A and B are shown apart, each in its own frame.
Chain A
Amino acid sequence: MYTLIKREIEDHIIYFLGALILSLLFTASIAAKGFGGEPAEGLGIILAAIGITLACATIVICALGTSQMHTDKNRKISAFLSTLPVSRNQILAARVITGLLALLVLLAAPAITVEILLSTLRQEEAVYRYFTVEIFSAVYLLGLGVYCTGLMCGFSSSKIVVTLGSLVLSVVLLTIILIKGPDIETLIILLVYVSASLAYTWRKFSTIPFI
């Protein structure tokens, strides 16, 4: 399994580098503005940075999912790997774990920075106690949902379907989180979406002929 995950990361290293650069940029801007300015200004900066992080994460992660499936089909990677002692489930699991890792790379540093910043700025107010957990859980699940969208769209051989399909579904997800906010209902909707798209991807990947 480790070999398969390592292979996926190496094949898509550009997305990991992109995620890392974005993550560092946001962390740096949150830290610089948040710790440097007024408390009220600092909160505004945090929310703006989270918004930008969300949009960028959506693009990077969706592109990663699409690329994983699209490249696989074009280069016949799974067709080759399946002739080795490797199951289809293992190949897909390695792929999804890679997506989860990319999301972690993207979101871990900003989340930690926001938590430190909030504990410094508003530690006495209970309303901010679970702020980081709530918002970053929603962002992580959104990222995962968008990633799964990318995986599903990657099956299509049409580049237009791949691109437009991914974008439309990602915008729908993004809109849900922007309108409803990161509450429990949003989390449940995202969880259901992630489970359904993972189940679809697994079913499709298990039954698709490797040509």
Chain B
Amino acid sequence: MSDDAIVIESLVKYYDGRCVIDGVDLKIPRGCIYGLLGRNGIGKTTIIRILLGLDFPTRGKSYILGRDSTQLTNKIKGRIGYVAEGHNMISSYKVSRLINICKKLSMRWNDKFFNHLIEMFRLPMERYVRELSTGMRAELNLALAMATEPELLILDDPTLGLDTVARRQFLELAVDLLQRDGRTILFSSHILGDVERIADRIGILAGCKLVVDCGLEELKRRIKKLRLIFEKKAPANLHLTEIVNQQSSGREMTVTIANMDEQKQAVINTLGAESCEEIPMSLEDIFIECTRPKQKQAVF
């Protein structure tokens, strides 16, 4: 059995002739909490939907719990919990009916745990799903996904539409629930704080590609932003590999470089800058640098 809960190989997806995902490769080991970041509409949900067999790739393969996504068996699906973006459940059903159907169709169902969650969330059982607030729908969706005690939990932008307080509550609860049994979690979001709080590995999608795929701490260590001040005008271009972003203005040049090492530092030293200062970067800064439109994307 593979140690990876999710494997994506050279995934390509086109919608109406428009490339959405272009050769994405990704491996998520079991027990990992993986945060998939990217701007809105960049393809996070598409990747998740392909993984779950809800959509089909144009090219490439994806495997989930060792099985091809396009041929998922009910047994495999029973081991996966999914909280969908926008919490699209069957809105014309009453909460009680939806729960009943999910319970009957699921392979495992922890009634005690589910009832505990329902009590905690104070979900009105006799109301229609469409009458619930976004926060309530998020809670119901999470409770339904957690009740099956999944090995792999996929959360697709679960906090979308929630206010700050509700988002914090939801995440605290999710983290508490998720960390109990060492489950694998794929968590997609465009809210960096959410991902930073719970993920131990991060992927950033930009320009149809996965431009970052590493641990959170490693990411902060590997990506450096430097400010170079020159005596005269700063050079327009810096000829170096894995440049994430580069800007020159007057005597100043700011450059963001992936996988900074001694060799790259040596090349920078040859430019003869008056000063070279490292600018500290938060995850948000890294995200903005990585997702900023540019001609050629550095992948690291």
- What residues make up the interface of A, taking CB atoms closer than 8 Å to B? 3-4, 7, 75-77, 79-87, 90, 207, 209-211
Residues in chain A near residue B88, CB distance under 8 A: 76, 79-80
Any chain A CB within 8 A of the CB of B54?
yes
Would you call A209 and B49 a contact (CB within 8 A)?
Answer: yes
Interface membership of B102, Cβ < 8 A: yes
Q: Interface with A: B31-39, B89-97, B195-203, B261-269, which one?
A: B89-97
Q: Please, which residue of chain A has its CB at the minimum distance from the CB of B83? A: A83
B52 within 8 A of partner (CB): yes
Check A81–B105 contact: CB distance below 8 A: yes
A85-B107, A87-B74 are known; give 14 further A-B pairs, CB within 8 A.
Answer: A3-B105, A4-B105, A76-B88, A76-B90, A82-B54, A83-B80, A83-B84, A85-B78, A85-B105, A86-B105, A87-B73, A207-B56, A209-B54, A210-B54
Q: Is A210 a contact of B104 with CB atoms below 8 Å?
A: no
* CB under 8 Å from chain A, chain B span 78-127: 78, 80, 82, 84, 88-92, 101-102, 104-107
* A83-B77, A85-B78 as given contacts; A210 in contact with B105, CB under 8 Å: no
Q: A75-B91, A83-B84 are in contact. Are A209 and B106 (CB under 8 A)?
A: no
Give bound CA distance, A77 to B91, whole Å. 9
B180 within 8 A of A: no
CA distance A211 to B78 in the complex (A): 21
Bound-complex Cα distance A7 to B94 (A): 13
Q: Which residues of B contact A75 (CB under 8 A)?
A: 90-92
Q: How far does the alpha carbon of A75 sit from the alpha carbon of B84 in the complex, in Å?
A: 14
Q: Is B75 an interface residue (CB 8 A)?
A: yes
Report whether B56 and A84 are in contact in the complex, using a CB–CB cutoff of 8 Å. no
A194 CB, nearest partner CB in chain B, Å? 28
Q: Tell me, rounded to whole Å, the shortest Cβ–Cβ distance linking A89 to chain B.
A: 10
Set of chain B residues within 8 Å of A84, measured between Cβ atoms:
77, 102, 105-106
Contact present for A77 and B54 (CB under 8 Å): no
9 A-B pairs with least C-beta separation: A85-B78, A85-B74, A209-B55, A3-B104, A85-B77, A83-B82, A210-B54, A84-B105, A76-B88
Instruction: Report the nearest A residue to B144, measured CB to CB.
Output: A84
Contact present for A7 and B101 (CB under 8 Å): yes
Instruction: Tell me whether B29 is interfacial, beta carbon within 8 Å.
Output: no
Q: List 9 A-B contacts (CB under 8 A).
A: A76-B90, A80-B88, A82-B54, A83-B84, A84-B106, A85-B106, A209-B49, A210-B54, A210-B55
**A91 vs B80: C-alpha distance in the bound complex, in angstroms?**
19
Tell me which residues across on chain B come within 8 A of A210, comparing CB atoms. 49, 54-55
Q: What's the nearest-Cβ distance from chain B to residue A183, in Å? A: 43
Task: Name the residue on A nearest B154 (C-beta).
Answer: A83
Nearest chain B CB to A93 CB, angstrom units: 13
Q: Which of B49, B55, B101, B104 has the most CB of A within 10 A?
A: B101
Cβ-closest chain B residue relative to A4: B105
Q: Which residues of A contact B60 (CB under 8 A)?
A: none
Does B215 reach chain A (CB closer than 8 Å)?
no
Chain B residues, CB < 8 A from A207: 56
A87, B52: Cα distance in complex, Å: 12
CB distance from B88 to the nearest CB of A (A): 5
* Also in contact, A77 and B107, with CB within 8 A (given A85-B78, A207-B56): no
Interfacial chain A residues near B104, Cβ < 8 Å: 3
Q: Is the CB of A82 within 8 A of B53?
A: yes
Q: Which of A7, A77, A80 has the most CB of B within 10 A?
A: A80
What residues of B have a CB within 8 angstroms of the CB of A4 in the complex? 105
Query: Chain A contacts of B91 at CB under 8 A?
Result: 75
Hey, which chain B residues are within 8 Å of A80, CB to CB? 84, 88-90
A83-B82, A85-B106, A85-B107 given; A209·B56 CB < 8 A: yes
B90 touches A86 (CB 8 A): no
Task: Give A142 to B53 CA distance when docked, in angstroms.
Answer: 35
Across the interface, which residues of A come within 8 angstroms of B90, CB to CB?
Answer: 75-77, 80
Q: How far is the CB of B139 from chain A (nearest CB, A)?
A: 17
Bound together, the chains give a CA A95 to CA B54 distance in angstroms of: 19
A4 CA / B89 CA spacing, docked (Å): 16
Provide the bound-state CA to CA distance between A76 and B92, in Å.
10
A-chain residues with CB within 8 Å of residue B77 when the two chains form the complex: 83-86
